[in-house]
Amino acid sequence: MPQLRPCQRLSEVRYEIRGELARRARDLEAQGRHLIKLNIGNPGAFGFRAPAHIQAAIAEHIAQSDPYCHQQGLPEAREAIAAQHAARGVRHLDAGQVFLGNGVSELIDIALRALLNPGDEVLLPSPDYPLWSAATILNDGYPRYYACRPENEFLPDPDEIETLVGPRTRALVLINPNNPTGASYPKALLEKLVDLARRHRLLLMADEIYDGILYDDATFQPLAPLAGEHPCLSFGGLSKVHRACGYRVGWMALSGERRRTAEYHHSLDLLGALRLCANVPGQWAVPAALNGPDTISSLTAPGGRLYESRRAVLEACAASEFLDLVPPQAALYAFPGVNLAALPGFDDHAFALDMLENEDVLIVPGNSFNVPYRNHFRVTLLPEAPQVEEVFRRIERALGRMAGAGGVRRHVA
């Protein structure tokens, strides 16, 4: 029998967050090994719970959740999301411009499928969240990466981005607050990026899933109010700020002048209808989440669990013989870099494999986030501070072992 062959485009897709290393981790766990897994920003796996008031909202409406709902989502949920955007200063947006999905992941795919023709280009940050690259490729597009370098605090350069714009460029994607770096983009930078998109007629796509997870004096500036009448698609959800990943509830809101977005809106609506609707029970949590009490700020303030875990990472990297770190201002991750002067020839994938096999820790190599360098890795800030401290003791031990052995050899897949 001939071999059943998969789609060729999948050979260009990487998702190491749940890839080869995660599969190896499952094998080790089956052998009885106890692993500390820092590869996924999954709050529930670290003991966090969705707030009680949003759990209650689902329970109270479960009897109303049996039928399909409108393809764009429950009216009550869409109205709450539209009201949040209006409170942020967004114009040209009401509940009819809001789409609910099974997490932001599904909506990213729908948004790009509705936009791209074969060969169209999308401007993506490097590092990016690799789902954006994957969804671009699988929808016949081509990712063009703009650099967000550690020496610039992982912020992009608008002038450099502009040199990448070509006749097939359709969209500019921003991930703010950023995964994996924790950068939070200042208003002045966002205004320059809006101006760039306006001049080149690019759809702005703002992944803002971490909008409420901020540390110290960091602030979040939503993109849509700055975009005004220019088309902007803003993504949010319950997974991170509200610690409800398993609910699979995300949304996207299409702002901008209606005559310019009407055809694209119709395409989004068609694709939403083809998958019938998003998970109905979880949507009942949206009004409660957006109109209820703030449950994230106490976690990110001094003394809060996320704040203290982040502080443990900062202190460990500051004390390290080998690590450099741009302090994350927001989100749930840190993206340390290994000093190549101390460890020439360092390879992030080989290091991640060594950490898994010899230190029982699962991290994500930095090259998985589509960067050209191989001396970074990502860890989540979700474990409690003592466990974070233990992880970095193991990291330092592994790096010391590699330094004594003369470095690490490059991993070849």
- Asked if residues 253 and 76 have their Cβ atoms less than 8 Å apart, the reply is no
Per the CB < 8 A criterion, the answer to whether 178 and 209 are in contact is no
First to last CA, the chain: 28
> What pLDDT is attached to residue 407?
53
Alpha carbon 375 to chain centroid distance? 20
What phi, psi does 3 have (nearest 5°)?
-70, 140
3-state secondary structure 65-129: CCCCCCCCCCHHHHHHHHHHHHHCCCCCCCHHHEEEECHHHHHHHHHHHHHCCCCCEEEEEECCC
Alpha helices, DSSP H only, in 146-241? 158-162, 187-200, 224-227
**Which pair of structure tokens corresponds to residue 26?**
């499952």
Where exactly are the structural domains of the chain?
Answer: 8-49+298-404, 64-291
The string of DSSP letters for 351-406 reads HHHHHHHHH-EE-EEGGGGS-S--SBEEEES-S-HHHHHHHHHHHHHHHHHHHHTT
Cα gap 308→299, rounded to integer Å: 9
Q: Per-residue pLDDT for the chain (413 aa), expressed as one digit of tens each?
A: 788 887 887 777 777 767 788 889 999 999 999 999 998 899 999 999 999 999 999 999 999 999 999 999 999 999 999 999 999 999 879 999 999 999 999 999 999 999 999 999 999 999 999 999 999 999 999 999 999 999 999 999 999 999 999 999 999 999 999 999 999 999 999 999 999 999 999 999 999 999 999 999 999 999 999 999 999 999 999 999 999 999 999 999 999 999 999 999 999 999 999 999 999 999 999 999 999 999 999 999 999 999 999 999 999 999 999 999 999 999 999 999 999 999 998 999 999 999 999 999 999 999 999 999 999 999 999 999 999 999 999 999 999 998 887 655 444 44
Is 380 in contact with 36 (CB distance < 8 Å)? Answer: no
The token pair that represents 209 in the structure block: 């899933």
Output the CA angle 321-329-241, nearest 5 degrees: 125
Q: Kindly report the length of the chain.
A: 413
CA pair distance 98, 111, nearest whole angstrom:
12
Predicted local distance difference test score (pLDDT) of residue 17: 66
Q: Are 81 and 251 in contact (CB under 8 A)?
A: yes
268 alpha carbon, distance to own chain's centre: 21
- Among the CATH numbers 3.40.50.150, 3.30.420.40, 3.40.640.10, 3.40.228.10, which is that of 64-291? 3.40.640.10
Which residue shows structure tokens 């106890």? 34
**pTM confidence score:** 0.93
CA separation for the pair 337, 229 (Å, rounded): 40
| CA angle in degrees (0–180, nearest 5) for 82-86-91 | 100
Sheet holding 142-147, edge to edge: 98-101, 250-255, 232-237, 203-207, 169-175, 121-126, 142-147
- Torsional sign, CA 24, 29, 31, 33: positive
Which spans in 185-291 are helix H? 187-200, 224-227, 258-274, 280-283, 285-291
8-49+298-404, CATH topology level:
Aspartate Aminotransferase, domain 1 (3.90.1150)
